[in-house]
């Protein structure tokens, strides 16, 4: 099968696994590897029930030794994803009445008693207190009351109004997109802009908060609207940010209202561009995809399920989003196989796409995707495929199971992360593509000889 056959010329760049030791393959380094493997076999180094796989490598110019040992997964590692389809065990709540639900095959986190009294501001928090510069995004919905949104750089949380340190980005029932800062019990309002289309009850909005130093960028769009013209955003430099506002966890919050959240993601890094590029969120909730151009396949929308699907099994069927181009970016989304898969059949996301056409590898750009057993990254160049890496997933992906993928490209480094949407171990791989072309391009979805569906695709600048 073309596009994934053996005998392709090897990549000229450098594989950067999630745990890597570089340098000459000396006797001392070999001894360390032998001792670690011996400890594993002897049971001296054990894995916790929530352990995740990662690839460790010892590299030299002529030797590469790779192991896929299982260690206790660092739950604070980025990227982070919570779809709530598997519950919300890693979230800590402060006030309110919280519950998860899974309508239409995707999870949501609801708070239902936040408007019972004046000044009520329930919150839920997760993540690492050491996270610094990152991008937080989620779909949020205001069901009743005044405000719903996201918290960034949270520290020292406790029950009560404004009882934590951090930033609070939110939408209001009066049609505003706003930002404020909490300093353990006190609140400082920072910025407000009008949302041209207003904010309606029981409507999903995609909210993005990017923190970089003392710069906070906030973006909002109606889920399903798509395109840069549909985004309301601003950047604010906070002259009052102190040490307690420089790092922290993430959270969900409302003020004198009730609401819901879904598809919460946190990715490393934040936009360095000023003014910031517009964020992008899939238009599939509307049942249409006007900004997508297809190259092979049979592509359909399901507005209820908010999915975009290829019903055919062509080699390299693809659909490219054309409303804007991206250089450095983080792309998040989910993919599902709609037929029995195998290791040589895959589906995923393309980034920095240029010169697309009909054909297995007819495009220039990068690819991050999954087969039933592997996470795959590589590059399409002039109709050829160059595989950078293919690493084992933590578990085999069956037909019908949603998998969350994050594809990040910064400079010449491509990183992909895969995890079951319902939760579990992550698999991550990175590759430094020496001498790459950093020309901006589009993003897209692609399948290789298998029908598949995509949902909750979002792009943020880096």
Distance, CA of 184 to CA of 188 (rounded, Å):
11
Q: Are 369 and 346 in contact (CB under 8 A)?
A: yes
pLDDT of residue 16: 55
Tell the residue number behind the tokens 């329930």, with chain if given: 122
Whole-Å CA distances, 95 to 181, 309, 348: 20, 40, 39
DSSP E strands in 118-186: the ranges are 123-126, 134-155, 165-172, 176-183
Q: Domain extents for the chain? A: 14-71, 80-271, 284-461
Distance, CA of 426 to CA of 79 (rounded, Å):
9
pLDDT digits (tens, 9 = 90+) for 69-113: 222 233 578 999 998 988 999 999 999 999 999 887 789 999 999
Domains 80-271 and 284-461 share a fold: yes
CATH class of 284-461: mainly beta
pLDDT of residue 39: 39
Tell the residue number behind the tokens 């110019």, with chain if given: 61
Distance, CA of 127 to CA of 133 (rounded, Å):
13
Give the containing element (helix H, strand E) for 251.
strand 249-268
Ranges of residues in the chain with a pLDDT under 70 are 1-75, 226-229, 272-277
Homologous superfamily of the 80-271 domain (CATH): Exo-inulinase; domain 1 (2.60.120.560)
Give the containing element (helix H, strand E) for 425.
none
Q: Are 267 and 210 in contact (CB under 8 A)?
A: no
Name the residue among 92, 174, 168 with its Cα closest to residue 128.
92
pLDDT of residue 286: 81
- Cβ-based neighbour number of residue 316 at 10 Å: 24
pLDDT of residue 228: 62
- For residue 17, give the 3-state DSSP assignment: strand
pLDDT of residue 40: 37
Give the containing element (helix H, strand E) for 316.
strand 315-326
Distance, CA of 241 to CA of 238 (rounded, Å):
6
């Amino acid at each position: 099968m073309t596009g994934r056959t053996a005998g392709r010329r090897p990549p000229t760049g450098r594989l950067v696994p999630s745990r890597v030791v570089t340098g000459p393959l000396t006797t001392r380094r070999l001894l360390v590897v032998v001792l670690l493997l011996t400890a594993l076999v002897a049971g001296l180094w054990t894995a916790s029930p929530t352990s995740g796989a990662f690839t460790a490598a010892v590299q030299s110019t002529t030797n590469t030794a790779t192991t896929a040992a299982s260690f206790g997964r660092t739950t604070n590692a980025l990227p982070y994803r919570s779809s709530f389809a598997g519950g919300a065990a890693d979230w800590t709540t402060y006030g309110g009445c919280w519950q998860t639900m899974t309508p239409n095959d995707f999870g949501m986190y609801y708070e239902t008693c936040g408007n019972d009294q004046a000044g009520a501001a329930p919150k839920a928090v997760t993540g690492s207190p050491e996270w610094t510069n990152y991008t937080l995004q989620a779909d949020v919905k205001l069901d009743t009351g005044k405000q719903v949104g996201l918290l960034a750089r949270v520290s020292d949380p406790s029950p009560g109004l404004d009882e934590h340190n951090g930033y609070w980005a939110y939408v209001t029932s009066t049609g505003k997109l706003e930002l404020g800062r909490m300093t353990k019990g006190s609140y400082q309002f920072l910025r407000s802009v009008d949302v041209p289309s207003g904010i309606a009850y029981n409507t999903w909005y995609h909210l993005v908060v990017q923190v970089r130093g003392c710069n906070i960028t906030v973006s909002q769009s109606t889920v399903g609207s798509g395109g840069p013209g549909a985004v309301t955003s601003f950047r604010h430099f906070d002259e009052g940010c102190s040490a307690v506002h420089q790092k922290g966890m993430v959270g969900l919050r409302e003020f004198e209202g009730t609401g819901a959240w879904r598809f919460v993601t946190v990715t490393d890094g934040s936009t360095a561009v000023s003014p910031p590029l517009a964020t992008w969120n899939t238009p599939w909730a509307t049942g249409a995809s006007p900004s997508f151009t297809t190259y092979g396949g049979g592509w359909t929308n399901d507005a209820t399920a908010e999915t975009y699907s290829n019903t055919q099994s062509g080699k390299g069927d693809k659909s490219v989003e054309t409303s804007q181009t991206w250089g450095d970016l983080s792309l998040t989304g989910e993919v599902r196989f709609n037929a029995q898969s195998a290791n040589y059949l895959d589906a995923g996301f393309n980034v920095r796409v240029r010169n697309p056409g009909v054909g297995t590898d007819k495009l220039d750009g990068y690819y991050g995707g999954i087969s039933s057993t592997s996470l795959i990254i590589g590059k399409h160049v002039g109709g050829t495929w160059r595989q950078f890496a293919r690493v084992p997933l933590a578990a085999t992906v069956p037909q019908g199971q949603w998998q969350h993928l994050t594809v990040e490209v910064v400079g010449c480094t491509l990183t992909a992360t895969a995890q079951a949407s319902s939760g579990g171990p992550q698999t991550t791989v990175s590759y430094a593509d020496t001498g790459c072309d950093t020309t901006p391009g589009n993003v897209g979805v692609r399948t290789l000889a298998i029908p598949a569906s995509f949902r909750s695709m979002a792009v943020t600048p880096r």
